[in-house]
Copies of this chain bind each other. A is one copy, B any other.
Amino acid sequence: MGSRKTTPLNNPTLENLHCSIELKTEKLGMVPFFQDLKQPELDKVVEKFSANHFSEGDEIYYQEDPAHYLRVIVEGAVKLLRYTDEGKDVVLDILNPGSYFGSLKLLGSDVYTESAVAQSGCCILSIGLKDFKEVLQEYPAVSIALLESSSEKLRASQEQVKQLTTQSVEKRIANILLTLSGKFGEEKDGGTLLQLPFSRKDLADMAGTTTESASRVMSTFQKEGIIETGRQWVAIQDIERLRSVTKS
């Protein structure tokens, strides 16, 4: 046994995705902008969040929907994307546990400008924007830390702009793999398995290319021993070579 081919990805059981109050608190405490809160303060904030479970492929919200919540990932991965009029999808980001998403429009009303899809089964905490505004007013340190996170996201997006305009498809894909490895990488027999299901199409939509081109690049990487890959999974075998593809 063990010879039969199966996906190397974990298939998390439902229990893992059910958020206990302890898990909620633990994960919210890891969110950068709550890190300055003391335990009793954090406990009070945690109460305002409610937990939801989503299965792989579920839409968490759809672009153009009225935006009422800020969300934080406890477990699993979330894909943020835009569907264009011409039917092409643009993946803006894939988020890991501890990341926030949704709306930060605390004044007036708002509409989501992207869609959020559960990339794997996941557990998500949500807080209404009205409640969140109260948190910010009560703890100015949270606002300030949040501002930093928000700047950080802007930078990441600008980096994406830079790559799209100046780098080849091969380099963009190498960069994406490296980024994902930082977020979802798990050591596994000599390599780094990206612990999330994602297809050539996902990769292509992240890199701003086609599935075919993404596939060709991945084939090359595999032939060169840089990665191992199958359906919906990738493991990085030689991260240094991957980094060197990025440069040069």
Q: Which residues of A are interface residues toward B (Cβ below 8 A)?
A: 82, 84, 86, 88, 90, 92, 103-107, 113-114, 133, 136-137, 140, 143-148, 150-151, 153-155, 157-158, 160-162, 164-166, 208
For the residues of A in contact with B, the DSSP-based class is helix
Residues of B within 8 A of A104 (CB): 147-148, 150-151
Known pairs A147-B143, A147-B146; A157 contacts B166 (CB<8 A): no
Residues of B within 8 A of A113 (CB): 155, 158
Q: How far is the CA of A164 from the CA of B148 in the complex (A)?
A: 26
Residues of B within 8 A of A153 (CB): 154
A and B contact pairs by CB, cutoff 8 A, 28 listed: A82-B158, A88-B166, A90-B162, A90-B166, A92-B158, A104-B148, A104-B150, A104-B151, A105-B148, A106-B144, A106-B147, A106-B148, A107-B148, A133-B144, A136-B140, A136-B144, A146-B147, A147-B150, A150-B150, A150-B154, A153-B154, A157-B158, A157-B161, A160-B161, A161-B208, A164-B164, A164-B208, A166-B208
A151 lies within 8 A of B208 (CB): no
Top 4 nearest A-B pairs (CB, nearest first) are A165-B208, A143-B143, A157-B157, A164-B164
Q: How often does this chain occur in the complex, in copies?
A: 2
Q: How far is the CA of A162 from the CA of B83 in the complex (A)?
A: 9
* Cβ distance A110 to chain B, nearest Cβ, rounded Å: 9
* Cβ distance A32 to chain B, nearest Cβ, rounded Å: 10
Q: How far is the CA of A133 from the CA of B106 in the complex (A)?
A: 20
Add 20 more A-B contacts to A103-B151, A157-B157 (CB < 8 A).
Answer: A82-B158, A90-B161, A90-B165, A92-B158, A92-B161, A104-B151, A105-B148, A106-B148, A113-B158, A136-B143, A136-B144, A136-B147, A143-B147, A146-B147, A150-B150, A150-B154, A153-B154, A157-B158, A157-B161, A160-B161
